[in-house]
Amino acid sequence: MLPDIERVSALIREVAAEEMMPHFATLDPEDIGEKAPGDFVTSVDLASERRFTQSLPDLMPGSVVLGEEAVAADRARLGLLAGNDPVWVVDPLDGTANFAAGLPIFAVIVALVRHGETVAGWIYDPSTGRMAVASRGDGAWMAGRRLRVRRPSQLRQMNGSIYGRKYRTSAAYREIWGPGRGRLGHVFNARCVGQEYLARLQGRMHFGLYTRLNPWDHAAGCLMHEEAGGYLARLNGERYAPAEPVPGVLMTPDRELWDEFRSSLLIPVEGERD
């Protein structure tokens, strides 16, 4: 049984409107901190997560909340994903560095995980009001329109994101994308995976390679990509699961393109896998 999709969507919009948008581009320096070098957290992250932690369990009795900032304080909370209770996985402000810099490239990401599998997901762009929602087996949707990932007619027309220093500095990467738009298109990292998932769902981006699989970043988006007809797998070819942080994940519009990226980038960097 799933919670009411629209009630969850309404809560996400409410929290963003009340806790986030009044502070966009107006944060004081003392409201911005670092959990680790280059890993920012703001008063908005913390206030938004508190609201979600208080309110989401009311929408599904017996559920618990796993928030990014709570995990930063206690990594043991990741063990909730292995439990029997439904788990809300929350990134209250994805793209914190962009938000803190006054750049409208941020998102709210919420997923519902049950027995280790993502069963529903929401990605919201507060600056434009775009909300993508998905539930397993029922497709991915935005504003009443079913979403479909698309493959351009020519591979050079693709756009996508690639993270991971060993891939971005490899000879294979330089051979494909060194001049800019290469034979597999163009690489652009938005520093906000929520916005990148929305762009793929709307056909503006087409591929993504991520080496850090924090569940609050990817549980919702991976479900949406699959429900929109796309193909994804971990870098070793195994199925993605939100409780398993390594190895990374690669997503493309279809299996044929996934195999092309594997042969052109993954194998040259990693070597052949069993």
Residues 10 and 111 reside in one and the same domain: yes
CB 221 within 8 Å of CB 213: no
CA 85 to chain centre: 22
Q: What percent of the chain has pLDDT over 90?
A: 86
Pairwise CA distance, residues 81 & 230, whole Å: 25
Which run of H or E residues covers position 40? Answer: strand 39-42
Identify the helix (H) or strand (E) that includes residue 35. strand 32-36
Interval 191-223: pLDDT, tens: 999 999 999 999 999 999 999 999 999 999 999
* Closest by CA position to 107, among listed 121, 117, 88: 121
Instruction: Choose among 52, 26, 67: nearest CA to 216.
Output: 67
Going by pLDDT thresholds of 50, 70 and 90, the confidence category of residue 274 is: very low
Residue ending a domain, among 146, 165, 190, is: 146
Shared-domain flag, residues 164 and 118: no
What CATH code is carried by the domain that includes residue 199? 3.40.190.80
Judge if 142 and 160 occupy the same domain: no
Residues 187 and 73 in one domain: no
Q: Are residues 180 and 137 in the same domain?
A: no
Would you state the pLDDT for residue 272? 46
The answer on 43 and 87 residing in a single domain is yes
Same-domain check for residues 100 and 162: no
33-70 residue pLDDT tens: 877 666 778 899 999 999 999 999 999 999 999 999 99
The pLDDT of 143-170, averaged and rounded, is: 96
Instruction: Clarify whether residues 53 and 141 are in a common domain.
Output: yes
- pTM, two decimals, is 0.94
Q: List, for residues 235-271, the tens digit of each pLDDT value.
A: 999 999 999 877 899 999 999 999 999 999 999 998 7
Q: Are residues 132 and 226 in the same domain?
A: no
Query: Is the domain of 9 the same as that of 142?
Result: yes
The domain boundary residue, chosen from 107, 125, 146: 146
Whether 9 and 138 share a structural domain: yes
- Please say which residue of 146, 163, 190 terminates a domain: 146
| Residue 136 sits in the same domain as residue 159 | no
**What domain range is 129 assigned to?**
5-146
> What per-residue confidence (pLDDT) applies to 179?
83
- CA distance linking residue 225 with residue 105, whole number of Å: 20
Give the CATH number of the domain where residue 100 resides: 3.30.540.10
Overall number of domains in the chain: 2
Its sign, for the CA torsion 118, 224, 105, 233, is positive
